[in-house]
Amino acid sequence: MAGFYKCSYKDANGNQKYMASSQMEPTDCRRAFPCFDEPSLKAEYTVTLIADKDMTCLSNMDVASETEVKSTMVSHPRKAVKFNKSPLMSTYLVAFIVGHLNYIETKAFRVPIRVYATPDQNIEHGRFSLDLAAKTLAFYEKAFNNEYPLPKMDMVAVPDFAAGAMENWGLVTYRIVDVLYDEKTTGAATKERIAETVQHELAHQWFGNLVTMDFWDGLWLNEGFATWMSWYSCNVFYPEWNVWQTYVIDNLQQALSLDSLRSSHPIEVPVKRADEITQIFDAISYSKGSAVLRMISKYMGEEKFLEGVKAYIKKHAYGNTTTSDLWAALSEASGKPIDKVMDIWTKQVGFPVLTVKENKGNSSITVQQNRFLRTGDVKAEDDKTLYPVVLALKGSDGIDQSAVLSQRSEEIKVNLDFYKLNADHSSLFRTCYTPERLEKLGEDAKAGRLTVEDKAGMIADAGVLAASGYQKTSGSLSLLKAFDQENEFVVWNEILTRLGSIRGAWMFEDEETKTALKTFQRNLVSQKAHELGWTFSDKDGHVLQQYKALMFSAAGSAGDEKVVAAATEMFKKFSEGDYDAIHPNIRGSVFDIALRNGGEKEWQTVFDRYKNAPTSAEKNTALRCLGSCEKPEIVQKTLDLTLSEEVRIQDIYMPMSGLRSHSAGILARWKWLQDNWEPLTKRLPPAFSMLGSVIQIACASLSTESQLKEVEEFFKDKDHKGYDRSLEQSLDSIRAKAGWLSRDRGDVESWLKTNGFKA
């Protein structure tokens, strides 16, 4: 799935059909034609494609001419489609599509916009993305004060596609599930992901395509900006979705999670080989990059930030830039020394934990910063960087965005009755409060003094600090317990993420302890799940739908009898052919519950739906859930499916990820990776980064010292080229969990006993 490659799909009669698509980023344009395959070596392209007359041919530009040509290869006439010359652009943005395609079109924007798909797809499912694209391009033109420069915009659903989407200038390609949306059979979470994906790729038409990083060490200028803009524009179009609240538990936590490993890398990371480039398309370039921009926008003020962005685009249109060019534009717009505040954030790895000590005698706090590592073993050589930390200090009189901690420690005057660092969690750090202050903040949360972002971020910090040894896990569990009356979806999402982390790390502990943690979860969520219910109506808002689905899933996975009974009844009707018996918002949860409590029959029902579901979204849900059954023979059946022709190579992760919920699946998929190493390396060349992702999934839920040694031993004699970062990050993650268990095994057991969850 690199360069100019072949994709397959099946027509209405089940016959195998083909189309050709392209994926040039980062360095695969050279696979399609000879070129200087570097982002700074821009050129104008005049493309001609020769194909059968009944096929659609697409490229970055609009069609200049179409003529019939004779072929020496086939007897029937063919056509040569010539496209108009492109603007100056990088090789990685060149794109070609050839195949039998249907399309829908809108002229709601200044230039025509189309969504294309193969005949096996319902092209009307592209309507949501099409209409959104028209609004988004118009919005971006105004936001950037710069017109979209191409004469058309095509968006294509591609059957075989390794990435989620690709921003080729004027010809954006997507996985089917990331651009086609059926509102009758697809849940609210998928709609939100599609919106953010479409807006991300369209933001690239300016950030990346019009203004391009000079080399791949500046990848974040493309991906960080496109990520930030997608959330920004999504919030403008759908304010009721509260996406900036979700950002705190999504993108921000992804960034902090990866960057808390010793094997992380700076946002601006030197790359010397092509296979190194693919490995930095990760949470650092995307999520941390966008988090830095979010921090800057808060520090500068959004209006000044966008003013600087406009100047940056205007000055560097059709050219290449480095991070210093961005800092210069933002500094000029704001009058602030942006480079001095922000340069370290892109050039240095990691972020700090701020330890807070309270000085009641003079109503102040002493804040000290140190590098944060998930393994909790920070050495002197790890802790040399002093980050310029935007404190975002919240008090009773508002938020101070101007205060920056640039030294090791500082004393700050505050009103000790109420204060909180990192308001709305807009900055990149964890905060380690005293247990007394954490308890007080819990009271502040109940009193309504904290925002949703504050509450979710505080829960995230407490959970991660416990996992890394800064605090005790019993304190984190008590904090979660104190939020049992919480009413916000995003906060509950983070509560369950942190509880899931504990249950995951304790996966290989004794059954009594695991059962006790499960019982705690059930006690925590059941009442709220029952209150919300699991029926959905048109009156339910976007967030309420996801809230209901979250609590239903959490209660079901914890064995709540009412939820399990309801899911069992829905699944029974579904298996008898009533496919509307399960609402799309809880389809995955019902499949999961049925498979956890079932066997061969239930597995076959879900597998049949995977093969026959009318949409890619439903197929993917079924495929991900197949691993939920922990019976050994079913686990093996799921793993055998992974490398079979039944699963597209792009979807290999899905059945693997479903095995993470039980120890049998976790151990089996690690063994499967070892047993299938040779075929995996052949099917997933390291340069495509897919092998690294498979390694990370296979190792993701391992958590003991013996498992760590086993992974190290297996890879000891392997060539790590192309997946070295993925492997080191996997090993770091296992080390962190093993250390957590060693420190807090007794602490958790004591808490469970004290609170009546374990005898």
Annotated binding-site residues read 200, 204, 223
The candidate with the shortest Cα–Cα distance to 284, out of 367, 350, 374, is 350
Sign of CA dihedral 554, 560, 563, 565: positive
Any catalytic annotation for residue 410?
A: no
**Closest of 235, 219, 118 to residue 174, by C-alpha:** 118
Is 410 exposed, middle or buried (CB count within 10 Å of its CB: 0-12, 13-18, 19+)? middle
Report the alpha-carbon distance of residue 96 to residue 201 in Å, rounded.
Answer: 17
- Beta strands 78-83 and 96-99 are unpaired
What does the DSSP assignment read for 222-247?
HHHHHHHHHHHHHHHH-GGG-HHHHH
Tell me how far apart the alpha carbons of residues 421 and 417 are, in angstroms, rounded to a whole number: 14
- Report the helix count and the strand count for the chain, using DSSP H and E: 28, 23
The one-letter code for the residue type at 555 is A
| Residue showing tokens 């000891």 | 716
Q: 32 with 4: CB under 8 angstroms?
A: yes
Q: What SS3 class is residue 708?
A: helix
Instruction: Tell me phi and psi for residue 180, to 5 degrees.
Output: -100, 130
The 3-state DSSP class for residue 410 equals strand
Neighbouring C-beta atoms of residue 557, cutoff 10 Å: 23
Report H helices in 613-723: 616-625, 632-642, 653-657, 663-675, 677-683, 690-699, 705-715
Angle at 185 between CA 196 and CA 236, to 5 degrees: 25
Candidates 25, 196, 201, 268; catalytic one: 201
Q: How far is CA 559 from CA 554, 621, 664, in A?
A: 9, 21, 18
CA distance to 140, 167, 231, per residue, from 226 (Å): 11, 10, 9
Q: Are 89 and 61 in contact (CB under 8 A)?
A: no
> In Å, how far from its chain's centre is CA 308?
27
Q: How many Cα atoms within 13 Å fall on the side-chain side of residue 264? A: 29
18: CB partners within 8 A, 6+ apart: 6, 7, 8, 9, 99
Distances in Å between the alpha carbon of 151 and those of 44, 62, 108, 208, 429? 15, 7, 14, 18, 44
Annotated binding site for Zn(2+): 200, 204, 223
DSSP string across 533-594: -S---TTS-HHHHHHHHHHHHHHHHTT-HHHHHHHHHHHHHHHTT-TTSS-GGGHHHHHHHH
Q: CA–CA separation, 202 vs 200, rounded Å? A: 6
Residue 151, both tokens: 């004469």
**Residues 695, 711: Cα–Cα separation, whole Å:** 10
- The helix (run of H) or strand (run of E) holding residue 453 is helix 452-467
Task: Give the Cβ contact number of residue 689 at 10 Å.
Answer: 24
Rounded Cα gap, residues 302 and 389, in angstroms: 19
Backbone angles phi, psi at 351, to 5 degrees: -160, 165
CA distance 627 to 657: 7
Residue burial 732-751, b: 16+ Cβ < 10 Å; e: rest: bbbbbbbbbbebbeeebbeb
Active site residues: 201
